[in-house]
């Protein structure tokens, strides 16, 4: 009997201890921290790149729309490191003027002048023979005289041959020019009204001279070539066309500016110094795809022409195109289309301008 009572007492003690343990677990939770009953339960927040669904946490779809650009966003300067890797596109602009020969082409033209001058027949000095009776001042060959002195008209000259350009060789024929070297002059819009050519060869009937290679600061123009014998007066002038030596240089930023920065807003069109050069830079932003056309004005005189445009695309699409030179300016339009990225739709580009013209002549020569 005593044994039965002892077993029952032990079982009652075990049940009591188990109940106490269960109550403690309910008060503190499985982690051992006390739970405030009646308070709102906290839920771990999902990651920014995920959304909650009945099936659990799912990643954001890759084709989701880009974020809208904040209204107070500051337009950032273009990233030089990124743009340096962007392809450089060169757009050549056809010129309206024929360029003078240079290099090998000029050397060939000079050689041809010598070959033709020495191959021409000596009769009458290469000048045309009169078809009718001689006029006053003409000399008629006496029977037995050499063909070289068969007939000539004192004071007359032939049209100049050769490239009338710096470094070019020019030949002219005349009558009774004498054996001593005189002068071959190029008359026109030059300092002092003329340029003396460098005499290479002087005979009584033929003169070969060259235009000074260092001649700069003058424009293309119609000129008159004149022979002046050492003993005697100037001979009849002959017309020709002078072509100045060309040079191609980058247009200074003081001579180009934006005159139309197309929608949408925010947009910005200005000048930026990047990659060691001065560029025309444009940036356009919007909440959806846009297209537009910016305009940049080049203030150059008619002696200068746009030779090429260098173009780098940062964002979106863009394509420069040069409009015809008009008056005191030339307009370059840039057609652009914005494309989506992480923060909206954007278009960004860089362009710079190179012009060609007579060496040493100011860019603004001829501007009103």
pLDDT tens for 229-284 read: 998 888 989 999 999 999 999 999 999 999 999 876 678 999 988 888 899 999 99
Using CA atoms, how far apart are residues 7 and 228, in angstroms rounded to an integer? Answer: 150
Contacts made by residues 144-152, CB under 8 angstroms, sequence distance 24+: 146/122, 147/121, 147/122, 147/123, 148/122, 148/123, 148/205, 150/123, 150/124, 151/123, 151/124, 152/124, 152/125, 152/127, 152/176, 152/205
pLDDT tens for 300-334 read: 988 899 999 999 998 899 999 998 877 678 999 99
What is the percent of the chain with per-residue pLDDT over 70, rounded to a whole number? 68
Tokens of 153: 């008209």
pLDDT tens for 198-215 read: 999 999 999 999 999 999
Judged against a pLDDT cut of 70, whether residue 105 lies above it is answered with: yes
How confident is residue 18, by pLDDT bands cut at 50, 70 and 90?
A: low
How confident is residue 52, by pLDDT bands cut at 50, 70 and 90?
A: very low
CA-to-CA dists, residue 45 to 39, 42, 55, 168, angstroms: 18, 9, 16, 83
How many C-beta atoms surround the C-beta of residue 106 within 10 A? 19
Helices (H), 29-102: 80-85
Judged against a pLDDT cut of 90, whether residue 30 lies above it is answered with: no
């Amino acid at each position: 009997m005593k044994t039965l009572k002892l077993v029952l007492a032990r079982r009652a003690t075990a049940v009591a201890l188990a109940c106490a343990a269960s109550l403690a677990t309910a008060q503190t939770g499985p982690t051992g921290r006390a739970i405030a009953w009646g308070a709102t339960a906290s839920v771990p927040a999902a990651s920014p790149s995920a959304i909650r669904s009945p099936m659990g946490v799912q990643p954001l779809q890759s084709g989701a729309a880009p974020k809208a650009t904040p209204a107070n966003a500051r337009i950032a300067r273009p990233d030089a490191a990124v743009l340096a890797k962007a392809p450089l596109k060169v757009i050549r602009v056809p010129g309206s003027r024929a360029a003078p020969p240079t290099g090998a082409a000029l050397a060939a033209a000079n050689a041809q002048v010598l070959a033709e001058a020495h191959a021409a027949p000596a009769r009458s000095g290469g000048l045309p023979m009169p078809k009718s009776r001689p006029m006053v001042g003409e000399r008629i060959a006496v029977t037995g005289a050499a063909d070289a002195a068969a007939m000539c008209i004192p004071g007359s000259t032939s049209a100049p041959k050769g490239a009338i350009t710096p470094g070019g060789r020019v030949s002219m024929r005349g009558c009774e020019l004498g054996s001593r070297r005189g002068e071959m002059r190029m008359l026109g819009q030059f300092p002092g009204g003329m340029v003396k050519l460098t005499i290479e060869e002087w005979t009584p009937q033929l003169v070969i001279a060259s235009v000074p290679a260092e001649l700069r600061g003058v424009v293309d123009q119609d000129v008159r070539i004149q022979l002046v014998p050492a003993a005697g007066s100037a001979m009849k002038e002959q017309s020709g066309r002078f072509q100045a030596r060309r040079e191609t240089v980058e247009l200074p930023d003081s001579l180009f500016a934006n005159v139309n920065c197309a929608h949408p807003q925010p947009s910005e069109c200005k000048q930026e110094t990047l990659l060691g050069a001065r560029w025309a830079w444009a940036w356009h932003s919007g909440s959806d795809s846009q297209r537009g056309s910016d305009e940049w004005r080049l203030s150059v005189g008619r002696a200068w022409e746009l030779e090429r445009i260098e173009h780098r695309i940062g964002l979106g699409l863009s394509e420069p195109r040069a409009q015809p030179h008009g008056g005191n300016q030339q307009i370059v339009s840039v057609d652009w289309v914005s494309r989506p990225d992480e923060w909206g739709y954007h278009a960004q580009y860089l362009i710079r301008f190179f012009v060609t013209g007579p060496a040493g002549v100011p860019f603004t020569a001829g501007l009103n």
